[in-house]
Amino acid sequence: MRALLAQAYQRFGQRAASDRTTTTKQERVGRYVVEHAPQIFKIADVRAALPGVSDATIRLALERLKKEGRVNQRAWAGPPCG
């Protein structure tokens, strides 16, 4: 029984480590929006796709993408940022 638990814990640790990323939450938002989001999306769509990322972080990332010319304000539904 101990060996089984130890093996399960080891597998859990390996999976948890593989989920870690060196990118920031804003970078994750940017990647999702540019690579996966539909042409018109809601902040709620991003929130659902990236649990654990706050609306404030999503808005900051969207503002950065807008300033970089990678998305325009009309791409996402919701109140204007900033």
Which tokens is 31 given? 């990647």
Domain segments of the chain as ranges: 23-82
Q: Which of 64, 29, 5 is nearest to 81 (CA)?
A: 64
| pTM passes above 0.85 | no
Q: Which tens digit of pLDDT belongs to each residue from 45-75?
A: 999 999 999 999 999 999 999 999 998 877 7
Which tokens is 81 given? 């940022």
Contacts of 64 (CB under 8 A, 6+ apart): 26, 30
Q: Which tens digit of pLDDT belongs to each residue from 17-39?
A: 655 668 899 999 999 999 999 88
